[in-house]
Amino acid sequence: MPEYANIVIDISHEKLDKIFQYRIPEALRTDLAVGMRVSVPFGAGNRVTAGYVVGLTEEASYDPEKIKEIKGLVPGSIPIESQLIALADWMRENYGGTMNHALKTVLPIKQKAAEKKQRFVSLAVSREEAKEQLALFEKKHYTARARLMSALLEQSPIPYETVVVKWNISFAVIRSMKKMGMVNVEERRLFRSPFGEIPQEGQRLALNEDQRQVVARIWQEWQQGCRRTYLIHGVTGSGKTAVYIELIERVVQAGRQAIVLIPEIALTYQTVARFYQRFGERVSILNSKMSAGERSDQFERASQGEVDVMIGPRSALFTPFSDLGMIIIDEEHESSYKSETLPRYHARETAIARAGMAGASVVLGSATPSVDSYYKARKGEYVLLELEKRIDEKPLPACHMVDLREELRRGNRSILSEKLQALMEQRLSDGQQVMLFLNRRGLAGVITCRSCGYVPKCPHCDVSLSQHNNGKAVCHYCGYEEPVPETCPQCGSTYISGFKAGTQKIEEIVRARFPKARVLRMDYDTTRRKDGYEKILSAFSNQEADILIGTQMIVKGHDFPNVTLVGVLAADLSLHVGDYRAAERTFQLITQAAGRAGRGRLPGEVVIQTYTPDHYCMRLSQSQDYKRFYEAEAAYRALLHYPPCGHMMVMLVASGDEMTATLLMELLAGKIRKAQEGGKLQGLSIIGPASPPVAKMKDIYRRVMYFKHGDYQELVNIKDVLEQFVARHHEFAAATIQFDFDPMGGF
Ligand code: ADP
Ligand code: ZN
Ligand code: ZN
């Protein structure tokens, strides 16, 4: 039974580090929980103030004599901060890391910086009256007053400075007009609007039958007070966004709010405009390019009830809505929903936890659901809903598979296959557009035989080996290594090496082959500048270019009606990234890329170029058969106990001192092995310790170890024990230990 509570008094960004400990009175011991609001005596005068419980403990961290006692619970409804604090506690428990990390992730950052206030001048009379007055002023040659009136008739309110500077009107004139009751001068908090000018019209779509059914199912349960997690599996272009908008509208009409998570990369003008057209100023967006001030403005607006819908990447999940009714996660399979910094939370699971606390539903959507989500949907944990057809029954594009080994055999060494070249030629002469997608994910280090497609794999883990600088091929899970072969063990060819060809190189090749074509390239280099991304997309959308070459950036959610050909240049490259999700990611990328073709009036075609056409992932992405892909993939995961058929936890030990990192890792690994030998930790398998892909980062040495268990909670327990062990052993103060559950990228 916990006797002490850790409490934060002021939830402003800077003060989070200051946590005070209080004794819990007997009467509260069984009921007190993290997130609750309590009143406590504070400071030298023991002024009674409110605070939030952020932790419970049995041991006092200070002299117990000096610890004050909690006075009681603060009555009334639970404020939103309580819910977010409880969520932080859930995240700390499920993903590791400290409460501080978790709190800083979930709590709205209140900026200390002065609020921007601005004075505005506005019309205090009707337009008719203003027009009469204007005529009167003009007649009397009161030119300054006339100027102000006509300016306000054009726009009202106008910032005070503009009136003075641009319209050259003196303070005296404004003051006397105010006295006359003609104008108002008001101070307003200035919220920096994230939107430029988006016209708020656009016609309403009438949903088709399939869309209506999905909406009806979710809405019916929502109205009955049944809150669940839904997975909408809808092919690309099946109208998922229209379904989200319809649902949100109903939630908002019911007086609740909604959060829409969208991967940052798909957060384009196009998408935002669709929401804005329906919800106007009641929708707000977050993105990572915003300053802290801009973000906190948006959160502030949300907590003051000025906004009903928040759209943004992962972090929008923590929008302080007081009466959240629905969370939507579009492209739910995206790996960007997993945080790569502490706490390493997954937005999907965290959304479900928050929805549980808020009484909200969760709607996940994807054309290629994550294996995790589909598995849960199959087990009945989520409700599976399907949109099987594109809007207006537009056909999915026809997919051609090209075997790059054949091309090499025929003497074509170009990255553009003959088939692709021929189709490109055709499109260019027909005035249609082409997208070329280079699958670059995990390119570094993948070893392939260009002649037969052979890829060396770890004999223990069945993941691909990666080329390290030392000339070795290494397994990132278990540390197994062998020399990089000089000739292919399968076919004897010498064309075996790490793959090298960037988007820039491809642009050169394309320009040389099609000198008349207008080519755009979108990659890290060309989008670094602010707006670079948006500019390239809009140029392509306005048909200022014929060919767009890019990395994963170009495959997300864009709607280019004139694109009728998509080329996937080296489709299988991401298949050989050394982790168990490689096939899943590859299938998703190919399907999403293919989904860009034929969205307009004209049907589309896709060319998938690969060295391994027989791999199930290649065959099934050609037919865009998600379900069969899922079956094959789930079978593989089950065989090797990879998530979702079991869970995985990675432990990272890092230290500036190599010896310390190695020693601590050996000690922890030894502890686990000993427990296993003693018959404990049933069902646990361990892999490693090993060096992660980046074994040394910024002069910090890193070691990893993998744990697999069917029960997530068992892994959480192991994490707790190891964390506490390290905290007790001060000789390892120079080392840090971190965990990642069901890793997406890993350390
Ligand atoms: P998804 O999100 O599944 O890829 P979208 O919601 O973007 O699909 O819809 C694809 C296209 O179809 C968009 O241009 C959208 O405006 C249009 N659309 C969606 N629903 C309808 C509908 N019921 N009637 C006509 N057009 C629709
Ligand atoms: Zn070979
Ligand atoms: Zn291995």
Residue 16's pLDDT is what? 61
Query: Per DSSP, what are the bridge partners of residue 617?
Result: none
Catalogue the E-assigned strands of 139-282.
158-159, 183-189, 229-234, 257-261
Q: Residue 273: CB within 6 Å of ligand 1?
A: no
Give the pLDDT confidence of 41-77 residue by residue, as tens digits: 988 888 888 888 888 888 888 888 889 999 998 877 6
1 HSE (CA, 13 A, CB side): 10
Q: What angle do CA 349, 97, 702 make, to 5 degrees?
A: 110
Band of the pLDDT at 517, cuts 50, 70, 90?
very high
CA 497–ligand 2 middle distance (angstroms): 10
Judged by average pLDDT, the poorest of 204-208, 397-401, 673-677 is: 204-208
- Judge contact between 222 and 246, C-beta under 8 A: no
* Six-digit token string for 713: 């909670």
CA 599–ligand 1 middle distance (angstroms): 10
480 alpha carbon, closest ligand: 3
Q: Residue 386: CB within 6 Å of ligand 1?
A: no
| Distance from C-alpha of 193 to C-alpha of 66, rounded to nearest angstrom | 49
| Distance from C-alpha of 26 to C-alpha of 240, rounded to nearest angstrom | 52
CA 494–ligand 2 middle distance (angstroms): 8
Nearest CA, atom 23, ligand 1: 207
Main-chain dihedrals φ then ψ at residue 63, nearest 5 degrees: -60, 115
Specify the long-range contacts of residues 536-542, CB closer than 8 Å, at least 24 apart.
Answer: 537/268, 538/269, 540/433
pLDDT of 188 over the 50 cut? yes
277 alpha carbon, closest ligand: 1
* Six-digit token string for 689: 């310790």
Residue 202's pLDDT is what? 57
Chain centroid offset of residue 699 CA: 29
Q: Is the peptide bond before 75 cis (omega within 30 degrees of 0)?
A: no
CA 573–ligand 2 middle distance (angstroms): 15
Residue 523's pLDDT is what? 76
Return the percentage of the chain with pLDDT > 70, whole number. Answer: 92
Judged by phi (left if over 0) then psi (alpha if -120 to 50, else beta), residue 471 lies in left
Band of the pLDDT at 217, cuts 50, 70, 90?
very high
Of residues 182, 334, 190, 310, the one with CA closest to residue 256: 310
Residue 718's pLDDT is what? 94
Q: Residue 391: CB within 6 Å of ligand 1?
A: yes
Residues, CB within 5 angstroms of ligand 2 (ion) = 449, 451-452, 454, 488, 490-491, 493
| Pairing status of strand 72-73 against strand 37-42 | antiparallel
Give the residue-averaged pLDDT of 189-194: 48
User: CA 84, 90, 92, 95 torsion: positive or negative?
Assistant: negative
Residue 501's pLDDT is what? 62
Give the pLDDT confidence of 90-110 residue by residue, as tens digits: 998 899 888 888 888 888 665
Buried b (16+ CB within 10 A) or exposed e, 260-279: bbbbbbbbbebbbebbbbbb
Q: Residue 277: CB within 6 Å of ligand 1?
A: no
How many other C-beta atoms lie within 10 A of the C-beta of residue 667? 14
The number of the ligand 1 atom at minimal distance from the alpha carbon of 387 is 3
Give the pLDDT confidence of 638-652 residue by residue, as tens digits: 998 899 999 999 999
Give the pLDDT confidence of 614-637 residue by residue, as tens digits: 999 999 998 889 999 999 999 999
Specify the long-range contacts of residues 456-463, CB closer than 8 Å, at least 24 apart.
Answer: 456/482, 456/484, 456/485, 456/489, 458/578, 460/687, 461/640, 461/687, 462/640, 463/578, 463/579, 463/580, 463/582
Catalogue the E-assigned strands of 589-734.
605-610, 647-655, 685-690, 696-697, 700-709
Higher pLDDT, 262 or 458: 262
Residue whose entry in the numeric block shows the structure tokens 């069969």: 628
| Distance from C-alpha of 147 to C-alpha of 136, rounded to nearest angstrom | 12
Give the residue-averaged pLDDT of 109-121: 62
Give the pLDDT confidence of 547-602 residue by residue, as tens digits: 999 887 777 657 788 999 999 998 887 787 777 888 999 999 888 888 888 878 88
Residue 422's pLDDT is what? 96
Question: How far from each other are the two terminal CA atoms of the chain, in whole angstroms?
Answer: 36
| Pairing status of strand 466-467 against strand 647-655 | unpaired
Judged by average pLDDT, the poorest of 42-56, 285-299, 494-508 is: 494-508
Q: Residue 610: CB within 6 Å of ligand 1?
A: no
- Judge contact between 311 and 286, C-beta under 8 A: yes
Residue 223's pLDDT is what? 96
Q: Which of 34-38, 298-302, 427-431, 476-480 has the highest mean pLDDT?
A: 427-431
Give the pLDDT confidence of 475-493 residue by residue, as tens digits: 877 788 888 888 999 998 8
pLDDT of 113 over the 50 cut? no
Residue whose entry in the numeric block shows the structure tokens 């060396």: 456
The number of the ligand 1 atom at minimal distance from the alpha carbon of 208 is 23
Residue 744's pLDDT is what? 80
One-letter amino acid of 434: V
Residue 20's pLDDT is what? 87
- Judge contact between 198 and 272, C-beta under 8 A: yes
Residue 469's pLDDT is what? 63
pLDDT of 13 over the 70 cut? no
Residue 448's pLDDT is what? 81
* Six-digit token string for 97: 């890391």
- Judge contact between 282 and 309, C-beta under 8 A: yes
Residue 8's pLDDT is what? 85
Helix/strand/coil for 451: coil
Give the residue-averaged pLDDT of 696-705: 83
Residue 17's pLDDT is what? 62
Give the residue-averaged pLDDT of 119-136: 88
Q: Which helix (H) or strand (E) holds 386?
A: strand 383-387
pLDDT of 312 over the 90 cut? yes
pLDDT of 195 over the 70 cut? no
Higher pLDDT, 156 or 646: 646
Residue 109's pLDDT is what? 62
Q: Residue 271: CB within 6 Å of ligand 1?
A: no
Of residues 678, 653, 679, 680, the one with CA closest to residue 667: 653
- Judge contact between 563 and 594, C-beta under 8 A: no
Band of the pLDDT at 192, cuts 50, 70, 90?
very low
Band of the pLDDT at 710, cuts 50, 70, 90?
very high
* Six-digit token string for 295: 């973000």
Residue 164's pLDDT is what? 80
| Distance from C-alpha of 653 to C-alpha of 722, rounded to nearest angstrom | 11
One-letter amino acid of 249: E
For the whole prediction, is pTM greater than 0.85? no
Residue 193's pLDDT is what? 47
Nearest CA, atom 4, ligand 1: 237
495 alpha carbon, closest ligand: 2
